[in-house]
Amino acid sequence: MAKRIEISGLNAYYGKTRAIEDISMTVEPRSVTAFIGPSGCGKSTLLRTLNRMHEVIPNARVEGKVMLDDLNLYGSDVDPVAVRRAVGMVFQRPNPFPTMSIFDNVAAGLKLNGVRGRNRLGEIVERSLRGANLWNEVKDRLNRPGAGLSGGQQQRLCIARAIAVEPQVLLMDEPCSALDPISTLAVEDLIASLKDQYTIVIVTHNMQQAARVSDRTGFFNLAGQGQPGRLVEIDDTNKIFTNPSEKATEDYITGRFG
Ligand SMILES: Nc1ncnc2c1ncn2[C@@H]1O[C@H](COP(=O)(O)OP(=O)(O)OP(=O)(O)O)[C@@H](O)[C@H]1O
Ligand SMILES: [Mg+2]
């Protein structure tokens, strides 16, 4: 199920402004890759190029190549909707469909994919909620609105919704930034348990979190004010946090800037 992502020569623009420049990197399957770097260096932009969400923004465009195993995501015959199904995303703020029940929040994508029947849907909803480490907390109130859950529960609900459709890749953009420490740990545990099956990319401003959850870490930076973001280096997380190759990485992780 998990797939390798190979990014080469990737540039992303908002109108005439280039936000990220010449990114080339590999994201390994069945592991967690963290993206770190100062605000505005293009982490979220890069994430959105990986499931063709960038181009949804008016005047935004992408140059370069993203391969998901053998599939060129920007190939002319590729359906962006199918890409978004294969590459799921969890956002910074939990965004459950507010009026929908907990059950329907998880089932929504399945229904769009043509899964029918309360029993079949029920099985997948339960499996996804268990996978997201939320089942025990919500099993007695599946018909209540998703918006009635705590922030941490809502974020795990969004993760359940994302994994229900069995994506090949899971992108998470600061998934814990709105959560308290206990919910954060629950989400981190969940990420650790999902990585056997998925290719996971997580953007985080929390260095400890990157060190705890990821196998590989990519550090991004701006060459200067008004310049596009670039990948400075990507390596094993342990190496990045103990002995990075670039001075800029060391300055950032030791809190000298950013
Ligand atoms: N919708 C948009 N329209 C125009 N410019 C945008 C848009 N979204 C982001 N940008 C610009 O692109 C650059 C990269 O932004 P991005 O959100 O990718 O950074 P980031 O690394 O995720 O930052 P943060 O850590 O603050 O979330 C910034 O200069 C930002 O202002
Ligand atoms: Mg961002």
Flag whether pLDDT at 258 surpasses 70: no
Name residue 11's beta-bridge partners: 63
Mean predicted confidence (pLDDT) in 145-167: 93
Do residues 252 and 37 touch, judged by C-beta distance below 8 A?
yes
Collect all residues with Cβ–Cβ distance below 8 Å to 171 and sequence separation of at least 6.
47, 50, 51, 87, 88, 89, 90, 200, 201
**What number does the ligand 1 atom closest to the CA of 42 have?**
18
Residue owning the nearest CA to atom 9 of ligand 1? 45
pLDDT of residue 145: 96
Q: Would you state the pLDDT for residue 8?
A: 98
Spell 133-164 as b/e; 16+ CB within 10 A means b: bbbebbeeebeebbeebeebbbbbbbbbbbbb
Given a cut of 80, is residue 22 above it in pLDDT?
A: yes
Q: Is the model's pLDDT at 219 over the cut of 90?
A: yes
CB 141 within 8 A of CB 169: no
49 Cβ below 6 A of ligand 1: no
Among 11, 14, 56, which residue has the most ligand 1 atoms within 8 Å of its CB, making it the best to mutate?
14
> Which residue type, as a one-letter code, is found at position 109?
G
What residues form DSSP beta bridges with 88?
A: 170
User: 39 pLDDT exceeds 80?
Assistant: yes
Residue 164 has phi, psi (to 5 degrees) of -60, -35
Crossing angle of the two packed helices 118-131 and 102-112, in degrees rounded to 10: 110
Q: How large a percentage of the chain has pLDDT more than 90?
A: 84
Mutation test residue for ligand 1: of 41, 55, 230, the one with most atoms within 8 Å of CB: 41
Q: Stretch 223-245: mean pLDDT, rounded?
A: 96
Distance of CA 140 to the CA centre of its chain: 29
Residue 1 confidence (pLDDT): 76
Mean pLDDT in the chain? Answer: 94
Is residue 233 within 8 A of residue 248, CB to CB? The reply is no
CA distances from 47 to 151, 172, 182 (A): 23, 8, 26
Reduced to 3 states (helix: H, G, I; strand: E, B; else coil), residue 175 is coil
Beta-carbon contacts of residue 188 (< 8 Å; ≥ 6 apart) = 176, 209, 212, 213
- Choose one of 44, 62, 220, 231 to mutate for the ligand 1 pocket test, by most ligand atoms within 8 angstroms of C-beta: 44
> CA 5, CA 246: separation in Å to the nearest integer?
24
Half-sphere exposure in the Cβ direction for 14 (13 Å, CA)? 14
Q: How far apart are CA 240 and CA 242, in angstroms?
A: 6
CB of 19 closer than 6 A to ligand 1? yes
> Exposure pattern of 182-218 as b/e (b: 16+ CB <10 Å)?
ebbebbbebbeebbebbbbbbbbebbebbbbbbebbb
* pLDDT value at 234 more than 70: yes
User: Is the model's pLDDT at 178 over the cut of 90?
Assistant: no
CA 158, CA 129: separation in Å to the nearest integer?
10
pTM value?
A: 0.94
